[in-house]
Amino acid sequence: MCGIVGYVGTKQAYPILMKGLYRLEYRGYDSAGIAILNGKLIMYKTKGKVSDLESYIDDQDTAGTIGIAHTRWATHGEPNDVNAHPHYSQSRNLAMIHNGIIENYASLKEELKNRGYKFESDTDTEVLIQLIEDIKINEKVGLEEAVRIALNQVVGAYAIVVISKDEPDMLVAARKGSPLVVGIGKDDFFLASDAAPIVEYTKDVVYINDEEIVAVKRGEPIRIKTIGNKLQTPYIQKLEMNLTQLEKGGYEHFMLKEIFEQPNSILDSLRGRLNAKEGTVKLGGIVDYEQKMANAKRIIIVACGTSWHAGLVGEYLFEDLARMPVEVEYASEFRYRNPIISEEDVVIAISQSGETADTLAAIELAKSKGATIIGICNVVGSSIARATDAGSYTHAGPEIGVASTKAFTAQVTILTLMALRLAQMRNTIPQKRFRELLTELESIPQKVKETLKIDGQVKELAKMFVYARNFLYLGRGYNFPVAMEGALKLKEISYIHAEGYPAAEMKHGPIALIDSEMPVVVIATNRGTYDKVISNIQEVKARKGRIVAVVTKGDKAVKELADFILEVPETEELLVPILATIPLQLLSYHIAVMRGCNVDQPRNLAKSVTVE
Ligand code: G6P
C-alpha cells in the first residue's frame, strides 16, 4: 500500500524517482507526487496514476540530485491532488512521504492546531511532518533527531522519508510495520518500499527493521539507529533480483506474463528441493524445524486473499498425506479472536508480499502464545519472512500484476513439498506411493506448459462472457479452493460478481440464482467425486445454466453435458489444483481485457496490503 522512493547522490533524481514510481505502482495508484530539492524545495503532485503525474510535470523544472516520490493507495482522505504525497511542513522547509497509518493522528493534530499549525490536507501524514517541524524548531535539533523524537510520540505503522531544505545532502527515513529498503550505490543512496526501483542501480541493499531510523548523506556511510537512539550496524545484503523480471518482456500485461511464467516459476519452487530419482524432498529453510512440524499437535495456516486459497489446498494436502489436523484461518479474523494456540501448534503463514499487515499481526499473536511459526513467502527479506522462525521462499520471482497468479501455484507447490516431507517423516505414506507422487510432481512444470496451450481457446470462450454480470464457480475436494480462487480472480480484475462454492453446497442457496444468464464454471477433474460433480452439473443444466467445465484430457461424461470444455492434462488428484487454476486465470484475464479493464492495476486494490 503506497510506494515510496527516495534518492540522494550525484545523478539527476527525477528520472530515477519517476522510474521507481512506475516500478512500485502495483502498491497503489490513486495519486502520485514528487519533491526535489535544488535550493528550492519543489513539489508536484496529482490525482491519478504515475503517468498522469509525468504528463502533469511535463517540462517543468525537475533539476536536482536529491528527492522523494510517492504513489498512493488512499487511507486518510480521498484521493485528490491535495491529499497526494509528499506533504510540506508549515514553513515548506520540510517534505515527507509516508506509507502506513498514524493511528493517533487526531490527538497530535489537535495539539498542533492549538500551537498555531494550519493543515491543508486530510492526511495523517501532514500531521507527522508538522510534528517533526515543531520538534526541530522547539528542541533546536537536526532533522534526524527531530524525526526520532517525533516517532516516539507516534502510534501506528509507517515507512517515511523526509527531506529538509536546511540539510540539503541528506534524507532521513524510518520504518515500523511498512517495508523500507536502502540501496547503496557508489556515491549515492536509494530508498524504496521494495528493491524493484533499486535493482537497476545497485545490488547492495540494507533492509531496515521496525523502529529503526536511517540517515543517508552524500559522501558519508549509511547510519542506522533505533528510535530509542541506539546505533545499529548496517547489514548489507546482495539482491538476487534482476531487471528482466521487472519488465513485461513483450507481453501486453504483467498478469499475462506471470501466467505464462508458471512452468518456470514452479520449476524454481521445486529446484534443489525435490529429487524424484533419489526419492527425497528437502526444504533447506525448515530442516531445523521439520521435526517440530512433524510432531505438532495441529497446523494452523494463516493468510489473506489468494494466499488463503493456497492455504486451503494445503489443508487437504497435510490431512491427506501427513494425516495432520489443519485449520486454515483468515489472518484478519484469527488476530481478533481469542484463538486457542499452544506451544505444540505450528503456524504456517503464507504471503506473496510478506508484508500483509493482518498476516503479520496473526504471526505476532501466535508467537506470543509460544507456537512455532513457519513462513511461505515470495518476497525475500520481507517482514513476514523475517518475523517467522523458519520458512521456505516460493522463488516465483517478482509478481507485479495485482491479481496473484504465479505466486499461488508456487505456494501450492511449496505446500505440496512440505506435506510430502512430513508424510515421509511421520510414516503416513507407503514408500512406493511417495515416490510415485514425487515423480508426478516433477512433471508438473511440463504439464503446466501443456495446459497453457489452451490460451487461444480460452480467449475465444471469453468473448461469450464479456457481458456476464454474475459467475458461479464450483468444485469439490481439492478443487473447491480452486473454484474460490477462480471466482476471486474474475471479480478482482473484471468487476463481474463471482462466487466460488463447494459444488454440493450449490443446492443450499446459489441454485436460486441459476438461469440461462448464469455461467457456471465447474472444475470436474476429480476422480474421487467425479460422479457427484456430474450430478451437480445436471442440476445446473436442468435450470438452463451455461456450463464451462474444466476436465481431464480425454474426459467423456462431462463433455456430453457441458456447453464448453477446457481440458487439462491428467495428473494425480492432489496436484490438480496447480493445473486447473491455469484456465481460470486465463479466463478472467481475457474477460477483463475484453471489458476494457486495467488488469494489472484493478480499481481499489493494491498488491501489498500493509494496513488492516
Ligand atoms: C491483496 C492482493 C491479493 C493477495 C492478498 C494477500 O489483496 O491484491 O492478490 O492475495 O493481498 O497478499 P499476500 O502478499 O499476503 O499474499
Q: What is the whole-number distance in angstroms between the Cα of residue 305 and the centre of ligand 1?
A: 5
**Which atom of ligand 1 is nearest the CA belonging to 384?**
15
pLDDT at 27: 87
pLDDT tens figures, 235-248: 999 998 888 888 88
Name the residue with the closest Cα to ligand 1, atom 4. 305
Give the span between the Cα atoms of 492 and 488, in whole angstroms.
6
Backbone angles phi, psi at 390, to 5 degrees: -165, 175
| Residue where the block lists cell 442457496 | 509
pLDDT at 19: 97
Q: What is the whole-number distance in angstroms between the Cα of residue 43 and the centre of ligand 1?
A: 32
Q: What is the whole-number distance in angstroms between the Cα of residue 542 and the centre of ligand 1?
A: 37
Q: What is the whole-number distance in angstroms between the Cα of residue 211 and the centre of ligand 1?
A: 24
The answer on pLDDT for 610 being more than 80 is no
Determine whether 2 is an active site residue.
Answer: yes
Name the residue with the closest Cα to ligand 1, atom 7. 305
Q: What is the whole-number distance in angstroms between the Cα of residue 374 and the centre of ligand 1?
A: 18
Q: What is the whole-number distance in angstroms between the Cα of residue 399 and the centre of ligand 1?
A: 11
| Residue where the block lists cell 529503526 | 212
**Which atom of ligand 1 is nearest the CA belonging to 379?**
14
Name the residue with the closest Cα to ligand 1, atom 15. 351
Q: Which residues line ligand 1 (CB under 6 A)?
A: 304-307, 351-353, 356, 359, 402-404, 605, 607-609
Taking residue 352's Cβ as centre, other Cβ atoms within 10 Å add up to 30
Q: Check: CB of residue 522 under 8 Å from CB of residue 562.
A: yes
**Which atom of ligand 1 is nearest the CA belonging to 303?**
15
Pocket test for ligand 1, best of 378, 607, 610 (most atoms within 8 A of CB): 607
**Which atom of ligand 1 is nearest the CA belonging to 306?**
10
pLDDT at 386: 92
Q: What are the beta bridge partners of residue 522?
A: 474, 549
Q: Which of 2, 304, 377, 597 is catalytic?
A: 2
Q: Check: CB of residue 549 under 8 Å from CB of residue 558.
A: yes
Name the residue with the closest Cα to ligand 1, atom 8. 607
Report the range of poorest mean pLDDT among 74-83, 370-379, 484-493. Answer: 74-83
The answer on pLDDT for 370 being more than 90 is yes
Helix, strand or coil, per DSSP, at residue 515: coil
Closest CA to 316 of 491, 475, 530: 475
Q: Which of 49, 225, 257, 607 is catalytic?
A: 607
The answer on pLDDT for 269 being more than 90 is yes
Average pLDDT for the chain: 94
Pocket test for ligand 1, best of 26, 255, 306, 409 (most atoms within 8 A of CB): 306
Alpha-helical segments (H) within 465-500: 479-494
Taking residue 421's Cβ as centre, other Cβ atoms within 10 Å add up to 24
Pocket test for ligand 1, best of 255, 259, 328, 356 (most atoms within 8 A of CB): 356
State pTM to two decimals: 0.87
The answer on pLDDT for 504 being more than 90 is no
Determine whether 607 is an active site residue.
Answer: yes
Cis bond leading into 86, ω under 30°? yes
Q: What is the whole-number distance in angstroms between the Cα of residue 610 and the centre of ligand 1?
A: 10
Q: What is the whole-number distance in angstroms between the Cα of residue 304 and the centre of ligand 1?
A: 6
Q: Which helix (H) or strand (E) holds 328?
A: strand 326-330
pLDDT at 571: 96
**Which atom of ligand 1 is nearest the CA belonging to 356?**
15
**Which atom of ligand 1 is nearest the CA belonging to 403?**
9
pLDDT at 173: 98
Start-to-end CA distance of the chain, whole Å, equals 11
Instruction: Report strand pairing: 519-523 vs 546-552.
Output: parallel
pLDDT at 26: 85
pLDDT tens figures, 182-236: 999 999 999 999 999 999 999 999 999 999 999 999 999 999 999 999 999 999 9
pLDDT tens figures, 394-449: 999 999 999 999 999 999 999 999 999 999 999 999 999 999 999 999 999 999 99
Give the span between the Cα atoms of 351 and 357, in whole angstroms.
10
The residues, any chain, with a CB within 8 Å of residue 333's CB and separated by 6 or more, are: none
Pocket test for ligand 1, best of 178, 259, 351, 353 (most atoms within 8 A of CB): 353
